[in-house]
Amino acid sequence: MSQRPRIVFLIPIASARRAKNWPLACAYFKQTLSSIFNSTSRNYCVVVAGHEPPNFQLPEDRNFKFLSLDHPLPSQAGGYYLAAVKDKLRKLEAAWKYARSTWSPEYVMKLDWDDLISSRLIDWLVSAKDEAGYLIKHGWVWRSGSRYLMQRTEYFDRHCGSCLIIRSDLADRSGPFLTLVEGAVLDEAARRFATGDNYSLVPGSGITTLLLNDSHQRYTAQFAHLGHRLATVPFEAAVCRVDHGNNAGDLSPGTQTLRMFLGRIRRTRLITQRLKQEFRLG
């Protein structure tokens, strides 16, 4: 690549030793890569970080890199989810270090290995202003196994960590961004605050960078803390795949009110041929 790529996608993949269904995880990860390489612009690069390569042939592309890591897997003493997040952040750190030194991209996006992006996203970013960051608020939630239906959402960032594009000069800026999600130790007052307010910075949070945290509902507050406005991608730019058993952050249906049920119906859309082509839905 003769010039700086507009964006790098950082994809941490779970170890085969921790995935509940490794063949299914590989199939979904292959689809994630397909959605990136389906982009109408080639102004990007990709770094994947994992313990083991997937069970399919990885792309032979100069703008693609698979990093094979060998760090010990985090203990699951604190639970499967916390161990998965810690492993994810360590892999993101390694992927970002490689991308920064190799390509020096203008923007960086964390992408979960089972999520998908729109074929239009990179083209749009190329022509967009050089904002500090962009939040994907409009997107789709796709329940695994659903062949014909998806749910449109205007609150994609509440559901999914694959929702933030950061200008690279800000990615390493630090602040009080580590919360219970990443296993930060908080006092009782901070724990109550974190439980009751999902969008503000939590008093007493640990220090980390804008890139290396997983508190995606608090991204707007994190940018504001650093003195920057977080802009919004103006179209449905990503798909969050849920309820397939491999993702530690899968949504649970929980207790639903009638209003919530009717809201799900209102947001439900048919998976059209256009959507299949745009996101490489399979």
Contacts of 200 (CB under 8 A, 6+ apart): 193, 218, 221
- pLDDT(241) > 80: yes
Query: Which whole number is the average pLDDT over 4-29?
Result: 96
Query: Which whole number is the average pLDDT over 182-189?
Result: 96
Query: Which whole number is the average pLDDT over 41-67?
Result: 97
- pLDDT(250) > 50: no
- pLDDT(256) > 90: no
In this prediction the pTM is 0.93
Take residue 211 and report the two structure tokens written for it.
């890139």
Task: In whole angstroms, give the CA distance from residue 41 to residue 62.
Answer: 15
What values do phi and psi take at 157, rounded to 5?
A: -65, -20
Look up residue 177 and give its amino acid: F
Take residue 247 and report the two structure tokens written for it.
């993702």
CATH of region 7-279 = 3.90.550.10
Q: Given this model, what pLDDT does residue 245 score?
A: 61
Work out the pLDDT band at 263, boundaries 50, 70, 90.
low
42-51, 191-200, 222-231, 253-262: the lowest-pLDDT one: 253-262
- The strand ranges marked E within 84-163 are 107-110, 116-117, 133-135, 139-143, 149-153
What percent of the chain has a predicted confidence (pLDDT) above 90? 87
Residue 273 zone, left/alpha/beta (φ > 0; ψ -120 to 50; rest): alpha
Q: Given this model, what pLDDT does residue 252 score?
A: 43
Q: The tokens 């933030």 sit on which residue?
A: 164
Task: In whole angstroms, give the CA distance from residue 35 to residue 115.
Answer: 9
Q: Given this model, what pLDDT does residue 248 score?
A: 52
Look up residue 10 and give its amino acid: L
Task: In whole angstroms, give the CA distance from residue 95 to residue 174.
Answer: 18
Query: Which whole number is the average pLDDT over 67-91?
Result: 95
Take residue 33 and report the two structure tokens written for it.
């890569």
Q: Residue 193 belongs to what H/E stretch?
A: helix 188-196
Query: Which whole number is the average pLDDT over 59-85?
Result: 95
Q: Given this model, what pLDDT does residue 144 score?
A: 81
Q: Given this model, what pLDDT does residue 251 score?
A: 41
Nearest-5° Cα angle at 50, 208 to 163: 50
Task: In whole angstroms, give the CA distance from residue 10 to residue 48.
Answer: 6
Q: Given this model, what pLDDT does residue 146 score?
A: 86
- pLDDT(120) > 60: yes
